[in-house]
Structure 1
């Protein structure tokens, strides 16, 4: 079986599986992005979470909470208010932790070149912790991630360890991160559309591919894209710098892994 046929088989199997997430469906804020990816012959999504605010009750060690051994007191994909958290905390008996988790999206790609294009879109949209894994069986996966999360303990053995004023402060931060996450998803969708359009034009006109063949480093190409007003907004770059991310000088981060 050739690689393209094998990928089509994997895609058919992947998209036919039942959604095993707690919610049982794709999150509203990422539905359009997931649909756009799944309508392309070179991609399909294997899992996704649009981003959420969580309150978990369980054991904690070094700010690392084990989800399988904890109770989910609160989960929302919308802005959260203090009353919601306080009501949920009444049910806590262990160490309750407030978390914000940004978008996580896993996409299987037909070949490495497709994954590199999608990785570039993800990075330019603000998801700077994204990476590519290549399995021994030839499966090429892209994990779309960023690092603007939040994880703060609120109680110990059921006893609240912070003030309500501090909870307000944390929720303000978490809600801002949720809004920024939503903006990045929107950028990702728009940048992906443009990248797919450029790829289509290039494939239809091979001479354009030769004419536009890269002759400079990826970093210089990104600077040129910024100057031309493409999908690397200056505003986004400033946000990245504030968070202390390092400038990536490669087109894809590849981690070999068996899938």
Structure 2
């Protein structure tokens, strides 16, 4: 089986699988990016996250923390399987130029080429240790502001990545047409299905109420409601 045929089979198999993530769907904020990539015959996405702000502990409110609570901001991450090295180079160049400078390419034993779009635009701060809160409300307020600023920058980088990828894919299509190769036109329009400017509030972190749902804990602390 040649690599091109194998890639097509891998893509078909990936699209037939069930999404086992907690949310079960693609994040609305990166839906256009994922569609743009998957509409190309040279790529398909294997996992993604638009970015999130979370408080990690057994319960929701910091005042109820029983262990080592950690406040985290995790930026946009995207894993894409590429048809060949040249396709991976195009995606890598766009990612780095968009601000995702921790991006990289890995090649598996079976020839799978995975491009990871990542950045070092992270934040991870311990808030309690063995149930003892280590910070005051002013510091929580400061952390929330920093995290929201990072999320805003994260959204800007995602849009920059989308715009750059749009241009790069169109250039690749034009180049392939000039050399007689047939590639699918990938032109789309940036139109996120969900755009809200709500930000996480420090009251959500200090809230003195518990919730048994880990999913609620994470989603309630994202910058997008």
- TM-score of the pair, normalised by structure 2: 0.77
> What are the equivalent positions in structure 2 for 1:27-176 lying under 5 Å apart?
27-57=27-57, 71=58, 73=59, 88-176=61-149
| RMSD of aligned residue pairs (Cα, Å) | 1.3
> What are the equivalent positions in structure 2 for 1:167-246 lying under 5 Å apart?
167-206=140-179
Please give the secondary structure, in 2, of the residue aligned with 1:176.
helix
Match of 2:189 in 1: none
For structure 2, list consecutive stretches of 5 or more residues without a partner in the other structure: 181-225
Match of 2:15 in 1: 15
What is the aligned residue count? 180
Write out the 4+ residue segments of structure 1 that deviate beyond 6 Å after TM superposition: none
How much has 1:48 moved relative to structure 2?
A: 0.3
Distance 1:140 1:50 in 2: 22
Match of 1:223 in 2: none
For structure 1, list consecutive stretches of 5 or more residues without a partner in the other structure: 58-70, 74-86, 208-259
Distance 1:90 1:11 in 2: 46
Distance 1:13 1:104 in 2: 22
Distance 1:9 1:40 in 2: 15
User: Counting strand residues as a fraction of each chain, which structure ranks higher?
Assistant: 1
Distance 2:21 2:61 in 1: 22
How much has 1:103 moved relative to structure 2?
A: 0.7
**CA-to-aligned-CA distance 1:180-218 (integer Å, 9 cap, x gap):** 0001000111110000111111111249xxxxxxxxxxx
Distance 1:25 1:204 in 2: 35
- TM-score of the pair, normalised by structure 1: 0.67
